[in-house]
Amino acid sequence: MNAAPAIGPPLAVVLVLLTAAGAVLVRLGGLRLSREIAVASARATAQLAVVSLLIAAVLRHAGWTALFVVGMVTVAAATSARRVTGTSRATPWTAVPIAAGAAPVLALLLVSTLVPPRPVAILPLAGILIGGAMTATALTGRHGLDELRKRRGEYEGGLALGLPPRDAALEVCRDSARLALIPALDQTRTVGLVTLPGAFVGVLLGGADPLQAGATQLLVLIGLLVAEPIAALLTLWLVATGRLTDRRTP
């Protein structure tokens, strides 16, 4: 039995209702994110429609798969750059922690032969790792810059005590990396008890037995516990050394 939702008018109606409900809720709560929810939903619909049409062709060739992964990193870096600095100019810098976080984990899984070197296996795993690294980069960078702005006096006090600018900045914004890793830690702690994440469900629906699905999800979750700290720590260094700065503040 196919567990995927049928494509047709009911799906469209439900998606519109869910988008409207989310937009209304944040508007009533004064969060000023109604437009962002509508735009994100519309973009997700368009992007997934295009990807769904392209993915079959991409998965036929390793070269196309590699190019697609590079595109994923680029989009993730641009998204993080805008979230952190307010502009996409910092994309080359945010690409560094994202790629550095995802690449070694993916390489280890491939070298160990736990993940077969086939596009159909590599692409979704790369997407999950890149997405986790993107989140860690965005959260660390945004919170780090916020802390530097709010605690400017502490930063200047560190300089007055003789600390180099990088070390003074790290003393102020180090906790931003810790906060960025809490979602990944909570997801790992509660897997199977609160959530059944996508990798588990996807492998299960693909015909694998529950133990195989659980093993796949475990690889993904613990892999993220390596990819995200790498991304968070590198982002913290980029903030502390002034490579990432907030262009939205005077």
User: What is the tens place of the pLDDT at every residue in 86-111?
Assistant: 999 999 999 999 999 999 999 999 99
- In this structure, the answer to whether residues 186 and 202 fall within a common structural domain is yes
pLDDT above 90 (res 250): no
Do 167 and 224 have their domain in common? yes
In a domain, 159, yes or no: yes
pLDDT at position 23 is 92
For residue range 37-81, list pLDDT tens digits in order: 999 999 999 988 887 777 777 777 888 888 999 999 999 999 999
Are residues 180 and 108 part of one domain? yes
Question: Would you say residue 194 lies in a domain?
Answer: yes
Question: What DSSP string runs through 16-35?
Answer: HHHHHHHHHHHHHTT---HH
Contacts of 56 (CB under 8 A, 6+ apart): none
In angstroms, the CA 179 to CA 114 distance is: 31
In this structure, the answer to whether residues 54 and 67 fall within a common structural domain is: no
Whether residue 250 is contained in a domain is answered as no
In-domain check, residue 103: yes
Q: What's the pLDDT tens digit per position in 120-176?
A: 888 889 999 999 999 999 999 999 999 999 998 988 898 898 889 999 999 999 999
Q: What pLDDT is attached to residue 49?
A: 84
For the stretch 222-231, pLDDT in tens is 999 999 999 9
Q: Is residue 96 part of a domain?
A: yes
Residue 139 lies in a domain: yes
Looking at the structure, tell me whether residues 17 and 134 fall in a common domain: no
Q: Do residues 168 and 213 share a domain?
A: yes
Question: Is 247 inside a domain boundary?
Answer: no
Of 58, 76, 96, which one is at a domain's C-terminal end? 58
Q: What pLDDT sits at residue 206?
A: 59
Is the pLDDT reported for residue 201 higher than 70? no
How many other CB atoms are found less than 10 A from the CB of residue 142?
Answer: 21
Same domain, 118 and 226: yes
Same structural domain, 51 and 98: no
Residues 190 and 132 both lie in one domain: yes
Please indicate, yes or no, if residue 1 is contained in any of the structural domains: no
Q: Are 187 and 83 within one domain? A: yes
Residue 1 confidence (pLDDT): 46
Sign of CA dihedral 3, 41, 26, 132: positive
Q: Do 124 and 50 fall within a single domain?
A: no
The alpha helices in 112-209, defined as continuous H runs, are 119-150, 152-160, 165-173, 175-190, 198-205
User: What integer pLDDT is reported at residue 228 of this predicted model?
Assistant: 95
Minimal CA–CA distance to 173: which of 231, 238, 230, 226?
A: 238
**pLDDT > 80? residue 32:** yes
Selected residue with higher pLDDT from 83 and 4:
83
Domain that holds residue 105: 61-240
Q: Are residues 115 and 49 in the same domain?
A: no
Rounded-to-integer distance, Cα 247 and Cα 152, Å: 16
Domain count, the chain: 2
